Amino acid sequence: MAPRASALSCCCCCFFFILTSVASAQLSSTFYRFSCPSALPTIWTEVIRALATDSRIGASLLRLHFHDCFVQGCDGSVLLDDTPTFTGEKSAIPNRGSLRGFDVVDRIKAQLEIVCPQTVSCADILAVVARDSVVALGGPAWTVLLGRRDSTTASLSTANSDLPSPFSNLNDLISAFAKKGLSTSDMVALSGAHTIGDARCTNFRTRIYNETNIDSSFATALQANCPFSGGDNNLAPLDTSTPTIFDNFYYNNLVNKEGLLHSDQQLFNGGSTDSQVSSYTTNSAQFFRDFTTAIVKMGNISPLTGSSGEIRTNCRKIN
């Protein structure tokens, strides 16, 4: 082969390798079509079974996906248990005593390891259970992109620093989401996840006793179950109107000064996000569209793909 032709051939091969490498790093809606066609039906069945016995679990599973993606990207790191030589993220301040749903993920993973051993990642399970929970509770469907692999590391410090606090002000929220490549509009839409689920008294006590941008009757009613001292783990719904239905009522609550958390009410408090909140109160279809767009975007934060990471056989520990 002539030198020029040989060089051209090498360039073509290198270019093809680059293209295939880039392609392999992309998430795909059909990632398990051939390697594990029963993956999505298996996950859906288990989510429905879990919701039948625990109406709160859908919100918990959705929250797991969020807390995973905001720390090291969507890599399943939030699921790792502490060991004598390894500290995970479960004991971080935003996670300790509040994250739930690990047992549901365990059951799903155990079933998938029977039908498709070492094929479906824990990170992908979190992305799918988030979607399935929203759909099962009356919310919108979206196409979940798949192909994430699982991290062999976790970061307690990043979980403590990067997960938004229930005491955050608007600028703090905007900055926390921007750090992950999410816009202010994405942040407002994703906050609508608080249309389901509960919060602990310790996270809203200061608001109901000390803040002024809160409906007085709403605050008084909450004080009955969240005393000035004690009862830290007593629960209240984030959306008192329809706490187990994924709808736009969360935003109506904000307009009525009935946001449970300080960070919730910051979205409608005379600031730059007021108009978006107002628009969602009368246009649930727009909220659904924006939410699905934002959560797909969130699910694409720094995923491990290709040969990075691993496929854990047990979501609680590395292989």
Would you state the pLDDT for residue 170?
98
Residue 249 banded pLDDT, cuts 50, 70, 90: very high
Q: Cite the active site residues.
A: 67
Give the closest residue to 190 by CA, choosing from 306, 301, 55: 301
Q: Above 90 in pLDDT, residue 2?
A: no
74-80: average pLDDT: 98
Q: Above 60 in pLDDT, residue 256?
A: yes
d(CA 81, CA 84): 10
Residue 26 banded pLDDT, cuts 50, 70, 90: confident
Q: Is 239 annotated as a binding residue?
A: yes
Distances (CA, A) of 180 to 72, 175, 176, 195, 298: 10, 9, 7, 23, 8
Instruction: List, for residues 129-168, the tens digit of each pLDDT value.
Output: 999 999 999 999 999 999 999 999 999 999 999 999 999 9
Burial of 224 (0-12, 13-18, 19+ CB in 10 A): exposed
Would you state the pLDDT for residue 25?
53
Q: Is 164 annotated as a binding residue?
A: yes
Instruction: List, for residues 224-236, the tens digit of each pLDDT value.
Output: 999 999 999 999 9
Would you state the pLDDT for residue 97?
86
Q: Above 90 in pLDDT, residue 9?
A: no
Q: Above 80 in pLDDT, residue 24?
A: no
Q: pLDDT exceeding 90 applies to what percent of the chain? A: 91
Q: Where are the domains of the chain?
A: 38-163, 170-298
Q: Above 70 in pLDDT, residue 181?
A: yes
Q: Is 124 annotated as a binding residue?
A: no
Angle at 152 between CA 119 and CA 299, to 5 degrees: 65
Q: Is 73 annotated as a binding residue?
A: yes
Q: Is 152 annotated as a binding residue?
A: no
Task: Please tell me the CATH code under which domain 170-298 is placed.
Answer: 1.10.420.10
Q: Which CATH class is domain 38-163?
A: mainly alpha
For 213-251, give the DSSP string.
SS-HHHHHHHHTTS-SSS-TT-EEESSSSSTTS-SSHHH
For 8-47, give the DSSP string.
HHHHHHHHHHHHHHHHHTS-BTTTTTTT-TTHHHHHHHHH
